[in-house]
Amino acid sequence: MEQTEIKGLKVLIMGLGLHGGGVETARYLAGQGARITCTDLRSDADLEPSITALEGLGIQYVLGGHRKEDFDSADIIVKNPAVPSDSPWIAGRNNIETDISLFLKASASPLLAVTGSKGKSTAVTALHHILRRKHPGAHLGGNITVSPLSFVHELKSGDPVILELSSWQLADLRGRDILHPRIACITNLMHDHQNRYDSFDEYEADKTIIFENLKPDDYSVFPDDGYGGKWSKKSHGTSFLIRSSSPERTDFRGAYLDEKNRGWFISGSDSGSDREQILPEVLRVPGEPFRMNLLFASTMAKLWGCGSDMILDAASDFPGVPYRMEMFLDAADIKYYDDTTATIPEAAAAGVNAMNRPVVLIAGGTDKELDFAPFDTAAVIPKRIIMLKGSATDTWLPRLRSSGVEVDGPYDSMEAAVAAANRIAVPGDAVLLSPGATSFGMFRHEFERGDVFKAACRSLVN
């Protein structure tokens, strides 16, 4: 969509939000000469940071509710990804865009696109960390709370763009033929967002949009499991599989971890004789989930053309991602980890299993209509589980107590939960926030939950 196509148009931004996507969309469109109205169900007090960031751009606001006349008179409606396509405000309209679709129309940069239920943010951040060794102009955006519209004018010819895409962002691109990645990756598929979908099949279908437009000279990267095997047959690109153990097949094409947790890449060109190491034995963050995410990233970097030595060096000093198994504090030999983005039971289990020391776990929150059985095996690992109040906790707590694990709470504040964890933790332990549930109710979003957790920990130990 060229500037001449936007100038003078009436644009309605539905869902200004607080994560930056709405702000960058408004700023981009204002720069293109559009007449912009932002509408959001939240109040001006709730959205104050976003409104302040847009001062001086002549934007009108309709807050605390929506008005039908604003939707009817708009030339373009740009919706937040969290707004379902069947919302009565936009259902049946053919003028719907998102910040991702606007970017894809405006940019000719080569794309590497990544989705997955969990791990995608770590994978894309690690991939960006590696690619910048080869391409200093590489950019990262999407679901990782950086709108690609914030850097669309900075891109130079050949600069690769890495997009992290959620199932909702992908659903908004279905059938539009504007997403054409050179490399498409799905890190995994787990039960998530079942409060938004009628079935798990629908959720999977949205994820697979990421590779629907691949061509034979493109690449797809999948886990070596039942889903990855199925997707490999559907993908028109050349598929590479990622696994946590040595492959048994001689025709394997992809990457794997050996018995020393080193990562190896096999192009499949000569029945395994082309093996190259792309992941070192020692990484800066513990746990197999982190290591597997880096293996996905290193594989994509290899397919992009990065050398194995450069990949190994970059992977060895990758520090991880804030809010995702982030070790932010070490006080009196108690290590504190923020894993607030672990919003499903499987992710909380992975966080607990990643610990290489005794752990006091803080968990619980708001329900997404998920099954908590995937946490059952991990439930016996923590010294104590400290629960936060919420609808997920109401469902989860009886299950934990019936299994005989040590549980405290639920607590109605993060500060109280952290204080309880600190009373239990001793030198040599870890205190881990890995909730296995969403943050809504007690917090505006999971990042605020992580920030409050970190502040509470620092306050107690300082």
Q: What is the 3-state secondary structure (H, E, C) of the chain?
A: CCHHHHCCCEEEEECCCCCCHHHHHHHHHHHCCCEEEEEECCCCCCCHHHHHHCCCCCCEEEECCCCHHHHHHCCEEEECCCCCCCCCCCCCCCCEECHHHHHHHHCCCCEEEEECCCCHHHHHHHHHHHHHHHCCCCEEEECCCECHHHCHHHCCCCCCEEEECCHHHHHCCCCCCCCCCCEEEECCCCCCCCCCCCCHHHHHHHHHHHHCCCCCCCEEEEECCHHHHHHHHHCCCEEEEEECCCCCCCCCCEEEECCCCCEEEECCCCCCCCCEEEECCCCCCCCHHHHHHHHHHHHHHHHHCCCHHHHHHHHHCCCCECCECEEEEEECCEEEEECCCCCCHHHHHHHHHHCCCCEEEEECCECCCCCCHHHCCHHHCCCEEEEECCHHHHHHHHHHHHCCCCEEEEECCHHHHHHHHHHHCCCCCEEEECCCCECECCECCHHHHHHHHHHHHHHHHC
CA distance 379 to 34: 53
Task: Specify the pLDDT at position 271.
Answer: 46
Domain residue extents for the chain = 3-97, 101-316, 326-461
Cβ–Cβ under 8 Å, residues 211 and 220: yes
**Domain 101-316, CATH among 1.10.150.120, 3.40.50.720, 3.40.1190.10, 3.40.50.2300:** 3.40.1190.10
**What is the distance between the alpha carbons of residues 243 and 379, in angstroms, rounded to a whole number?**
25
* Fold entry, domain 3-97: Rossmann fold (3.40.50)
What pLDDT score was predicted for residue 272?
46
Indicate the CATH number for domain 326-461: 3.90.190.20
Tokens of 61: 């606001």
Residue length of the chain: 462
* Per-residue pLDDT tens digits of the chain, which is 462 residues long: 554 489 999 999 999 987 667 999 999 999 999 999 999 999 999 999 999 999 999 999 999 999 999 999 999 999 998 898 889 999 999 999 999 999 999 999 999 999 999 889 999 999 999 999 999 999 999 999 899 999 999 999 999 999 999 999 999 999 999 999 999 999 999 876 556 778 999 999 999 999 999 999 999 999 999 999 999 999 999 999 999 999 988 889 999 999 999 999 999 865 445 899 999 999 988 889 999 999 999 999 999 999 999 999 999 999 899 998 999 999 999 999 999 999 999 999 999 999 989 999 999 999 988 899 999 999 999 999 999 999 999 999 999 999 999 999 999 999 999 999 999 999 999 999 999 999 998 998 999 999 999 999 999 987
